[in-house]
Copies of this chain bind each other. A is one copy, B any other.
Amino acid sequence: MAIDRAPLIPALKNIATRLRIDSARATSEAASGHPTSCFSMAELMAALFFAELRFDPKDPKNPDSDRFVLSKGHAAPILYAAWAEAGAFDRAELMKLRRIDSDLEGHPTPRLPFVDVATGSLGQGICAAIGIALNARRIESDYRTYVLIGDGESAEGSVWEAANDGSLDRLDNLCGITDVNGLGQSRPTMFQHDMDQYARRWRAFGWHPIVIDGHDLSAILDAFDEARSTRGQPTMILARTIKGKGVSFTEGKDGWHGRPFKKGEELDRALAELEKQFVPVPAGGPTTNLSSLIPKPPSKSRPVVTPKPVAPPAYTMGEMVATREAYGTALAKLGDADPRVVALDADVKNSTFSDRFEKAHPERFYENFIAEQVMVGAAMGLAARGAIPFPSTFACFLTRAADFVRMAAISNVGIKLAGSHAGVSIGEDGPSQMALEDLAMYRAEPNYTVLYPCDAVSTERLMALMAYHPGPAYMRTSRPKTPVIYSNEETFTIGGLKVVRESDGDVATVIGAGVTVFEALKAYDQLLAAGTRIRVIDLYSVAPVDRDALVAAGRASRGLLITVEDHYAAGGIGDAVAEAVAGAGLTVRRLAVREIPRSGKPEELLDRFGISAKHIVETVKSLKSKV
């Protein structure tokens, strides 16, 4: 690519100026936003979009397009301006920035076809970019992935998780750009323009750092060339820039973060300064409209993937199998059936049993070591590009990636999370290893599917449903072995439940999930021996729940519902059931963990913390005596 790019420079410079003008005008019109954060990166965006990326503005989802992730999502206006400049949509739309009737939101979301993942929570875009770059390998495409982060953003630990992953995976198809504008939101950044601080960190983490003047278009183009020809490691272009560049009264000035120009005199002054920066384009060089020169991605015809049927479960009734183990088996089978299925681990694959997938499909297994944020972030990127990713670790450690779980909801991206070792039933390892707030975390998000199987058959069946259900999902699995209670032919649905015991004389319905289904069944046996019948429900789908079936069960059992869950009281199954049946005139009594637990044997802990068969029996008896 040793073409002479000198004639391009004036045209790119004019694009940079236009991007600044568009960013200023749009944010002033919206009366909010971050124009000065856009100004620092205008040359970077002009060079990237009009002399580097291969893409089709009219077909942004093309699987072989180069990808760009704006990790510093608050610079959204210049992202939108660049896509408009490229011809993706009418430039006039930019003036609707941040309006309720426009998809040009304050921070980018995949409501826009050219945005893969929502950004705006710093340090996440670069994790997604890891997944997007891995995806290129998965689909054997030579598309390249570019991600732009801020210098302030570099303080986020997730950035260094991504840095570590990028070098360990030798992602030379990935190019980072740090816009080192030296100013954070509230003060100068930690290193201001000490470029060596950044260079030595990225170098130490195994990347190829290139320090440049981020307003020098020739230097930017050279850096892109160098990145493209770097093998075996990702590149980080460290661009020294000036926040507010282009307008004299904002250049390098603190106090302008997140502050648009006031319409009228202030904006007019800024625009007048910017307009003066247009330069003549030499005769014979490219015109000021470079969009026609954007190289299109290679047009490969990619066959539509038709997954094979997933092999059915093959368990024996009563066989003792932990749901976490059934998860591993199911995951490997899903991988057999569908090449889009991939798995991600954080060095617990032998506990979550995702190592069964690794053994069957090593090329689609990504080891993130103990770094949950980049594991989930990379899954977001993979999902955005067509993979069906299953990141898994202990359920409690997925809370490490709670902000990624949140942003995945905003992206509505199909990550399939699995958390093992839920609840006090893990036993001796103690509270730090027990997930007791995970259901609350996922249920809070309005678009997550939450599944919680109690046996191996339901785990396998639900895994196959989860893989193909649109949007993000979470499966909770347990550490102890539990008996298989469903036949291999049993069917399940997202939003369903199973009534596992019922009679005409039930005095209450006990609703369990996971390990507590078996406590409920023990309670059933004990109560039956004393002549009392209860209905028992396995609430394997926690979000959504089957309201109608719950109400019907309650009405058939004297209006009494007793929930029992290996989870804290707030936000879990009790709340899910109570909200679902609200207004139906039923009584919901909740058994849940109500204090910080401790180490002990699983059965001791279930009992100590109020969710064992004994507590269910007592609750049924006490409620019965009141009726």
Contacts and interface: CB of A to CB of B under 8 A. Distances in A.
A348 interface: yes
A369 B600 contact: no
Contacts of A430: 98, 105-107, 109, 120
Contact of A432 (B119, B158, B164, B446): B119
Pick from A30, A189, A348, A371 the residue with the most CB of B within 10 Å.
A371
Interface in A86-108: 98-100, 102, 105-107
Contact of A190 (B105, B369, B433, B572): B369
A570 B444 contact: yes
A190 B161 CA distance: 12
A275 to B, nearest CB: 27
Interface in A141-161: 152-153, 155-161
B155 A157 contact: no
Contacts of A201: 204-205
A441 interface: yes
A158 to B, nearest CB: 5
B406 A437 contact: yes
A390 B578 CA distance: 35
| Residue among A30, A433, A598 with max Cβ neighbours from chain B (10 Å) | A598
Interface string A47-82: 000000000000000000000000001000000000
B122 A152 contact: no
Given A186-B345, A599-B99, A106 B428 contact: yes
Interface stretch (A211-219, A329-337, A582-590): A582-590
B189 A369 contact: yes
A102 B575 CA distance: 33
A440 B432 contact: no
A399 interface: yes
A457 interface: no
A594 B186 contact: no
Interface stretch (A407-415, A506-514, A516-524, A527-535): A407-415
A153 B433 CA distance: 15
A370 B121 CA distance: 10
B428 A370 contact: no
Given A432-B73, A579-B574, A111 B347 contact: no
Nearest to A118: B432
A161 B152 contact: no
A222 interface: no
B100 A152 contact: no
Nearest to A190: B369
A268 interface: no
A530 B226 CA distance: 72
A352 B551 CA distance: 45
Given A109-B430, A410-B432, A579 B570 contact: yes
Interface stretch (A6-14, A279-287, A497-505, A601-609): A601-609
Given A350-B185, A440-B570, A164 B155 contact: yes
Contact of A604 (B100, B158, B200, B437): B100
B190 A445 contact: no
A382 interface: no
A464 interface: no
Contact of A403 (B203, B400, B440): B400
A115 to B, nearest CB: 12
Contact of A350 (B33, B153, B186, B582): B186
A153 B348 CA distance: 12
A409 B570 CA distance: 14
A273 B497 CA distance: 55
A397 interface: yes
Interface string A362-399: 00000111110110000000000000000000001101
Contact of A160 (B157, B348, B441, B596): B157
A519 B399 CA distance: 33
Nearest to A436: B444
Contacts of A443: 440, 570-571
Interface in A417-450: 427-433, 436-437, 440-441, 443-447
A351 interface: yes
Nearest to A608: B100
A489 interface: no
22 contacts: A100-B598, A100-B600, A107-B432, A121-B396, A121-B397, A122-B370, A155-B370, A157-B158, A157-B373, A184-B347, A184-B370, A185-B350, A187-B367, A189-B369, A200-B203, A400-B402, A436-B444, A440-B443, A441-B444, A444-B568, A543-B570, A574-B579
Given A109-B598, A120-B429, 11 more contacts: A107-B432, A123-B157, A157-B371, A184-B347, A184-B370, A186-B350, A187-B347, A189-B369, A402-B402, A436-B444, A437-B441
10 A-B pairs with least C-beta separation: A157-B157, A120-B432, A100-B600, A402-B402, A204-B204, A437-B444, A571-B571, A106-B430, A155-B369, A440-B444
